[in-house]
Each structure stands twice: as C-alpha cells, then as structure tokens.
Amino acid sequence: MPEYYGLDASEWRRLRALRTPHNIQRFLDDDIAYNVEHSGPTCLSPRLVLRRGHAHCMEGALLAAAALRATGHPPLLLDLESVRDDDHVLAVFQIDRHWGAIAKSNYSGLRFREPVYRSLRELVMSYFPHYYNLQGEKTLRAFSTRPVNLRRFDSRLWMASEDDVWYIPEHLCEIAHTPLLTPSQIRRLHPMDRRLFDAGLVGSVQHEPPAP
C-alpha cells in the first residue's frame, strides 16, 4: 500500500493540515461547494473532490473519512436510512469514547455533531428532528448497525481513485440497518414545525429533488 493510500504527498498534507474534526467540517462547509450533479449522478473519491471543489452528501462523507484518517482517526462511515427521502451518510469519530459526526448536507441541521454522544443510536437520534422532506414529513427511520471502516476498500484505492467509487454506497445499502422507530411511533409523528423547516433550508442550494 502506498504511504498515503494512493494520494500524493501534497494531497495528504492538505488533509492532515485540517487537524481536527471541527476543522474538517468547516472545510466541507466553506471550501467545498454543494454538488447538485447537473451533469448526472457522481460518487467522487476524496482526490476528485479536492480537485473539483464540490461534493454532495456521499462524496463529502468520503472526504471527511479520508481527512479523519489523515488526522489519526479510523475512516468510518454510518448510513442513515429514510423513507420518501434520500439517505444521508456521516463520517463518524470517537473522542474519549463518545461519538461525533461530520457531514456534507444541503440541510443546515444535518451536518456536524460534537463528540458528546454515548452511543451511535444517541448520535443518530440527534438528527431526527432535522431530517425531513419538502412535504414536511420527518423521514429518518434507521441507521447502519455498525460503522463501516473504509480500510476494507484500501485495495481499491478509494481515497485516490480517478473513477467514481459507487461500490461504497452500494455496500452501505447492503449492510444491516437498525430501526429507530416502532410502527406506532411512526403513526403518531407530527409534520415539521414551519420555523424549524425554514431554518433547515438556510443556505441550501435550490434544486429538485433536494438531497440530504
């Protein structure tokens, strides 16, 4: 395996310079534009995201996982599963045995989480009030039972690929997921509060359909 998992030294230094999960999130928010895929669906590797300067949810999570690896954390992804909506992917990390998350999203409430959550379920539930579709439905339903360590794809040089890395989201769709709500809880759900609905779209890139 090459020293930098296929990246060149300058790419690795760029990721390593981010130093902390919070800085990685700021980089995703401030320096990486939201990828609305006008030219068709993509699943860019971290190298291609750095080169092109844009990413959607999946691509942002991959870049965050690569940056976490460069700064001393394992490259872990967690998939959030929804109904009548797009899934969302988090790059997750632990500090002092508590979970936090980094994410690229078109919704302001679906991004960074401080490492204060004692379990993955507790972390995921923090996203529940902010996860909704444009019809105002609360749509989050399940999460991948265990984080996926992307080292399993190191032989395919996922960090430095010049091609789309569709095999990673395909794997996320195939693994076991843990439900968050019971059927009776789902039946009792109320529509989104309008103020929280509007707040979640602050700064969003307008396109159809929106993606978390």
pLDDT tens by residue, 123-175: 999 999 999 999 999 999 999 999 999 999 999 999 999 999 999 999 999 99
Residue that the structure tokens 């993509």 belong to: 42
Q: How many CB atoms lie within 10 A of CB 205?
A: 12
What's the pLDDT score for residue 212?
42
Burial class (CB in 10 A: 0-12, 13-18, 19+), 60: buried
Do residues 168 and 144 lie in contact, with contact meaning Cβ atoms separated by under 8 Å?
no
What is the band of 3 on the pLDDT scale with cuts at 50, 70, 90?
confident
Q: Which string of b and e fits 159-179 if b means at least 16 CB within 10 Å?
A: bbbeeebeebbebbeeeebee
**CATH code for the domain in which residue 25 is found:** 3.10.620
Query: Is the predicted pLDDT of residue 38 greater than 80, yes or no?
Result: no
Q: Is residue 209 part of a domain?
A: no
Compute the distance between CA of residue 89 and CA of residue 137 in angstroms, rounded to an integer: 19
Segments forming the whole domain that contains residue 122 = 9-200
Q: Is residue 150 part of a domain?
A: yes
What is the band of 89 on the pLDDT scale with cuts at 50, 70, 90?
very high
What's the pLDDT score for residue 48?
98
What's the pLDDT score for residue 40?
82
Q: Is residue 155 part of a domain?
A: yes
Query: Is the predicted pLDDT of residue 65 greater than 80, yes or no?
Result: yes
- Name residues whose C-beta falls within 8 Å of residue 80's C-beta, 6 or more positions apart in sequence: 87, 88, 89, 90, 124, 127, 131, 140, 142, 143, 212
Q: Is residue 152 part of a domain?
A: yes
Q: Is residue 3 part of a domain?
A: no
The residue among 63, 85, 188, 209 whose CA lies nearest residue 139 is: 85
Q: Is residue 97 part of a domain?
A: yes
* pTM check: above 0.85: yes
Q: Is residue 206 part of a domain?
A: no
Q: Please state, rounded to an integer, the average pLDDT across all residues of the chain.
A: 94
Question: Do strands 113-117 and 148-149 pair parallel, antiparallel, or not at all (unpaired)?
Answer: unpaired
Query: Is the predicted pLDDT of residue 122 greater than 90, yes or no?
Result: yes
Q: Is residue 4 part of a domain?
A: no
Number of domains in the chain: 1
What's the pLDDT score for residue 132?
97
